[in-house]
Amino acid sequence: MSAIIQCHGVQKIYQQGAVAVPALRGIDLEIERGDFATLAGPSGSGKTTLLSVIGGLDRASAGQIIIEGQAIAGMDRAQLADLRLHKIGFVFQSYSLIPVLSAVENVEFILRLLKLPRAERLARARDMLRDVGLAGLEDRRPARLSGGQQQRVAVARALAPEPAIVLADEPTANLDSKNAEELIALMHRLNAASGITFLIATHDARVIAHARRHIEMTDGTITVDERNSGSVAA
């Protein structure tokens, strides 16, 4: 497989007054196309920061990040936004849905940025919600959906633009066991069916058990990077 994400010597330093606080200390990492990888580590280890700089939500202080052959260090804000729109989907533990919009409107909203015709946007949004098991709930607003259902809407929204990569930050953190298991199985099926690359920051042992690759971080460095030949099938 070819590497879809490459990090070479990536550093991130936050300035707190006169004190420089390193969050990433020279990360070297390659994620292969179609992989299902987990990124674990204690709070403050740098995993969320690493997802943020890979996804262009934050800029690295030093080093190089390459997404599908494109170096992102020199990109301006518009170019980074375009990269995220076309290449990268995000799933956050807080769901980040728009409360006044229905499930289908939340998914369709991101497709407006692709300037697709309205009928095509709605059709794709409904198809995505069906694929994540929410057929019949398309017109419900987030307040009328359970936590697990809201996270499924978030997954559908992330996948609607047909990204090559999904970056997920603790996607099961706010879910009960049943909904967490269902979401893990869903992401695993989507990875197998569509070849989407998943990189998931998580503490959840159930997510890690499904991973084909497991990476651990401590104090801004990668301390474990291993293949899991016995990953659980969905």
Residue 231's pLDDT is 56
For the segment 191-204, the average pLDDT, to the nearest whole number, is: 92
The whole-angstrom separation of Cα 178 and Cα 102 is 24
Residue 229's pLDDT is 66
Residue 234's pLDDT is 45
User: Per residue in 199-219, is it b (16+ CB within 10 Å) or e — as a string?
Assistant: bbbbebeebbebbbbbbbbee
> Structural domain boundaries of the chain?
36-45+77-227
Residue 230 has pLDDT above 80, yes or no: no
CATH assignment of 36-45+77-227?
A: 3.40.50.300
What value does the mean pLDDT of the chain take?
91
Neighbour-count burial of 122, counting CB atoms closer than 10 A to its CB (0-12 exposed, 13-18 middle, 19+ buried): middle
Neighbour count for residue 69 (Cβ, 10 Å) = 9
pLDDT in tens, 113-166: 888 999 999 999 999 999 888 999 999 999 999 988 998 999 999 989 989 999
More confident call, 138 vs 74: 138
Strands 3-16 and 19-32 turn out to be antiparallel
Mapped onto helix, strand or coil, the DSSP state of residue 166 is: strand
Mapped onto helix, strand or coil, the DSSP state of residue 6 is: strand
